[in-house]
Amino acid sequence: MTTTSFLDEIKSLIDEDQVIDSTKDNQPYGNSGHITIHPQTEQEISDILQYASNHHLLVNIAGAGSKRGFGGEMESANILLSLEQYTGIVEHHAGDMTITVKAGTSFQEIQNYLKPFNQKIALDPFLPQQATIGGLIACNDSGPKRLGYGSARDAVIGLRIVYPDGKVIRSGGKVVKNVAGYDMNKLFIGSMGTIGVLSEVTIKLRPVTKDETTMLITFPNHKIEEIKAFSIQLLDSMIEPICFELLNPELTEIFSGEKSFALLISFEDVEKSVQYQEEYLKKQIPKNAKMKKLKGEDSADFWQAFYQLVPNALENPKNEKVKAAVKIGTVNVNIAPILKESSLIQDTCNVKIFGHGGLGHGIMQLYIDGAEVDVIDALKKLRSLAKMYNGYAVIRHLPFNLRKQIDTWGEKPSSFFLLEGIKEKIDPKRMLNRHRYVGGI
């Protein structure tokens, strides 16, 4: 079927203004479509998927599009289903501390809505102004505060999903104490849109904390082994940081002007608890280490800048430097040596690597600038480094032409047969986000 023929038929299902011929779009990150459709209701999503299934068309899914550089071996499908216009609050039960929202709603929009109620979603994704709640959940995004907040799997209590054949299902519920049956939500969280289109999301909320402090501790003349030992000492103490990140010298220099390793520690609680933990931390800091405390607007400004570090597919910088991002998961104490050795990779590959990792949860984020061939070389070396420490490396952002040269997900996990079986059962025609997930699913 030609683009022109199914474009005309699609316009009979949805308002003409919501359908765009995008065959001439120059999208450097792939995951595009010959036509782009902007549904505004769940019924329209269902109708489009049913039509695509009946006519054996391939469908890519996007929210605002900031994560188009995350995986995907297809430059363009027949249809790009964009949920950018499918937005809004469906239900908010302030007393029950839950909210239900449409999947295309941006994370920051939801937080702004909740602020007058003194409530928030306890997640901290990157690019919160652009990231949609559906995209956040589809890729299971999380930031440094994952240590205290948990991930999307901890926050989501219910989903509405449109299957590839247009059928709408519900998983979970709309109350926090929902424990009956299998937890089907976890099947879709992190599945990269390969087994269904998220329509609505129900999330449990938390009260906005009374007080917050962000501490940046730099270690100008300390060895990484000393910083690691100090970090283990703090982790074994009674303090309960919401964030406990180790920053490499290149990243520290951006925020402090000093090129050294640094600890980024944040507390959120009632005022007395935060003050107690601040004082405890001050007494434990090694000699010659420097501590900078950020409160109020200074802390908010710092985090706003921090969450913009990750490359953004909505931006297409016209320069010769390639921006890539890789997530490494490992045992938390291995964060220090991996960050140290990534500095050697930076030098040998002639790239810049800005990195940070959670000493409490073991998730690292590394951002790479350099020429194409050097970035690919650095990514391969980082993956080998992660494997040496019994970890994994997933490439979170890379231009489409470079994703042909290196597998986004790395080796197939031992459980791959289960993932493949689920895909075959739910999407036997393999029409949704084809080749976007691990093992080419």
**Three-state secondary structure readout of 152-218:** HHHHEEEEEEECCCCCEEEEECCCCCCCCCCCCHHHHCCCCCCCCEEEEEEEECEECCCEEEEEEEE
How many CA atoms lie less than 13 Å away from 184 in the CB half-sphere? Answer: 15
Token representation of residue 261: 């390793």
Q: What is the pLDDT of residue 402?
A: 95
Q: How far is CA 243 from CA 104, 225, 266, 363, in A?
A: 28, 20, 5, 12
Residue pair 342/355 in contact (Cβ under 8 Å)? The answer is yes
Q: If we measure between CA atoms, which residue out of 135, 55, 101 comes closest to residue 429?
A: 55
Q: What is the pLDDT of residue 183?
A: 81
Task: Give φ, ψ of 126 to 5 degrees.
Answer: -75, 155
pTM of the predicted protein model: 0.94
pLDDT at 316: 66
Q: Which pLDDT score is estimated for 101?
A: 98
The DSSP bridge partners found for residue 158 are: 172, 202
C-alpha span between 85 and 101 (Å, rounded): 13
Per-residue pLDDT, 26: 75
pLDDT at 178: 61
- Report the length, in residues, of the chain: 441
User: Distance between CA atoms of 325 and 126, rounded to whole angstroms?
Assistant: 12
> Please, are residues 194 and 427 in contact by the beta-carbon 8 Å criterion?
yes
| pLDDT score recorded for residue 1 | 58
The answer to whether 23 and 36 are in contact (CB under 8 A) is no
Q: Given the structure tokens 């002639």, which residue do they identify?
A: 350
**Cα distances (Å, whole numbers) of residue 324 to 62, 347, 367, 403:** 20, 17, 6, 10
The pLDDT value given to residue 5: 67
Question: Which residues lie below 8 Å from residue 13, measured CB to CB, with a gap of 6+?
Answer: 44, 47, 48, 51
Could you list the pLDDT tens digit for every one of the 441 residues in the chain? 556 667 778 878 888 889 998 887 778 999 999 999 999 999 999 999 999 999 999 999 999 999 999 999 999 999 999 999 999 999 999 999 999 999 999 999 999 999 999 999 999 999 999 999 999 999 999 999 999 999 999 999 999 999 999 999 999 887 776 655 678 899 999 999 999 999 999 999 999 999 999 999 999 988 899 999 999 999 999 999 999 999 999 999 999 999 999 999 999 999 999 999 999 999 999 988 999 999 999 999 999 999 999 998 888 665 567 889 999 999 999 999 999 999 999 999 999 999 999 999 999 999 999 999 999 999 999 999 999 999 999 999 999 999 999 999 999 999 999 999 999 999 999 999 999 999 999
3-state secondary structure the chain: CCHHHHHHHHCCCCCHHHEEECCCCCCCCCCEEEEEECCCCHHHHHHHHHHHHHCCCCEEEECCCCCCCCCCCCCEEEEEEECCCCCCEEEEECCCCEEEEECCCEHHHHHHHHHHHCEECCCCCCCCCCCEHHHHHHCCCCCCCHHHHCCHHHHEEEEEEECCCCCEEEEECCCCCCCCCCCCHHHHCCCCCCCCEEEEEEEECEECCCEEEEEEEEECCCCHHHHHHHHHHHHCCCCCCCEEEEECHHHHHHHHCCCCEEEEEEEEECHHHHHHHHHHHHHHCCCCCEEEEECHHHHHHHHHHHCCCCCCCCCCCCCCCEEEEEEEECCHHHHHHHHHHHHHHHHHHCCEEEEEEECCCCEEEEEEEECHHHHHHHHHHHHHHHHHCCCEEEEEECCHHHHCCCCCCCCCCCCHHHHHHHHHHHCCCCCECCCCCHHHC
